[in-house]
Amino acid sequence: MSDIQHPFDLLQTLAKSYRTQASGLPSQDVVSEVWSGVGFRLAGHFMLAAMGEVSEILHEPRYTALPRVKAWVRGVANVRGRLLPIVDMSGFFGVTSTAPRKQRRVLVLDRDDLFVGLLIDELLGMQHMPVSSFSERLPELDDAVRPYVIGAYDGEQQALVFNFRALAHDQAFLDVAL
């Protein structure tokens, strides 16, 4: 009867043999910190928005045009009972957007006293960039875009980090009346 093993002891023996024969997990030698943001295309540039800056992303809603406003102000849309001003960012930068309507999206900013929808050319989704690839040195940019870019991430394609705070404090953006 000494040949009979208790089932628990048998399981422990099996577990021990499996652990000795198992291959280890691949080791990660370098841990790189990443920055996450929302990628979008605007005025021919690949841009990023910090996750905390954008409160919502919408398809281009129906809007009502407003009289006596600058051409880049598309109008106002009713979004869940709130009036959302829609601003064509390509128009604000003096560039004509060639993106089809189906492709365009609205980034909603809702912070402090600013509630506005920024119409962009294309949404590129979540982007994860290595923090080490960030540079405050900017590439050649036209003067209309430069004040709103705080840096860039280098990678397959250079991604510009858009500064919504600079936009929200810019009097040229806030003064929409003709």
pLDDT tens for each residue of 41-83: 998 899 999 988 999 999 999 999 999 999 999 999 999 999 9
Question: Domain 37-161 is classified in which CATH homologous superfamily?
Answer: CheA-289, Domain 4 (2.40.50.180)
Record the pTM.
0.80
Strand partners, 67: none
Please state, in angstroms and rounded to a whole number, the distance separating the CA atoms of residues 46 and 36: 15
The full set of domain ranges for the chain reads 37-161
- Distance CA(123)–CA(40), nearest Å, equals 4
In percent, how much of the chain has pLDDT > 70?
A: 98
Instruction: Kindly state the helix (H) or strand (E) to which residue 118 belongs, with its residue range.
Output: strand 114-120
Mean pLDDT to the nearest integer, 7-35 = 83
* C-alpha–C-alpha distance, residues 99 and 50, integer Å: 23
Task: Give the pLDDT of residue 4.
Answer: 81
How far apart are alpha carbons 131 and 133 in whole angstroms? 5
**Element at 164 (helix H, strand E):** helix 164-168
- Alpha-carbon gap, residue 18 to 102, rounded angstroms: 55
Is the pLDDT at 30 greater than 90, yes or no?
no
Residues 6+ apart with CB under 8 A from 19: none
CA distance 57 to 105: 7
**Helix residue ranges, H only, 6-159:** 7-21, 89-92
pLDDT band of 2, cuts 50, 70, 90: low
Q: Give the neighbor-by-neighbor strand order of the sheet with 149-153.
A: 122-130, 34-42, 45-50, 159-162, 149-153, 134-135
